[in-house]
Amino acid sequence: MNALILIVEDEQDILELMEYHLTKEGFETIGFLNTKHVNNALEEENVDLILMDRNLPGAEGSEFVESLRKRGMQTPVIFVSAKNKDEDIEQGFERGGDDYIAKPFSMKELILRVKAVLRRTKKLSNEGNLSYRDISLNLAARTVFIESNPIELTKLEFDLLHALIVNENVVLERDYLLENVWGGDEVYQDRTVNVAINRLKEKIDPDKSKEYIKTVRGVGYTLC
């Protein structure tokens, strides 16, 4: 299921533009011009991320988010606001924001920030599922499926695939993988990573038709 993003933005044209570009990227959206019906939406829908303006009619956006946090709401929030002084941004984070985009902004930046926060909040979760293309990881059961077919991986291979998925669009250096997957044991060397990556590739893409993992020469590995 695609991530559901709730947007609160009092300028109709900006709201529609944000919804258009997010939908184009495959996200689902719900848009509001004020905070009046946001509480109901959060209770009725499984919202993955909130994009919140601050200069809103009826309620200041960061104060509204602060009230949500006090009630235990943990949904990640990105403030999108013309309040762009250092103290405004600091206040946004103090009141419960996970990121802050100052207006004016590009839609490309918005999309990148949205993906980064969603990726980061997935990474912090210790249960549930992670997915990339047709690969699905069940973190609690430590199982892997590709197109609903189970794939047998060792603990090391599972951890390696998990590291690549939660860092999608990032090139992971061999030293990073040695530190975070192998635990920084000095016995292991770069060649260890190369061999493990090749073994993982063989298991998840035996006929080499999908090319999930790309080697960046002299640096490390990333998902295609």
Q: How confident is the model at residue 138 (pLDDT cuts 50, 70, 90)?
A: confident
Cβ-contact 48, 91 below 8 angstroms: no
Fold of 4-124: Rossmann fold (3.40.50)
Q: Where are the domains of the chain?
A: 4-124, 129-223
| pLDDT, position 169 | 80
β partners of residue 28: 4
With the CA atoms of 42, 137, 169 and 177 taken in that order, what torsion angle do they form, in degrees rounded to the nearest 10? 130
Helix (H) or strand (E) holding 28: strand 28-32
Fold of 129-223: Arc Repressor Mutant, subunit A (1.10.10)
pLDDT digits (tens, 9 = 90+) for 87-132: 999 999 999 998 999 999 999 999 998 988 887 766 444 456 788 8
| pLDDT, position 160 | 92
Q: CA 174, 214, 127 angle in degrees (round to 5)?
A: 75
Asked, as a colleague might, if the bond just before 57 is cis with ω within 30 of 0, I would say no
Average pLDDT estimate for 150-165: 91
* pTM: predicted TM-score of the whole model, two decimal places: 0.57
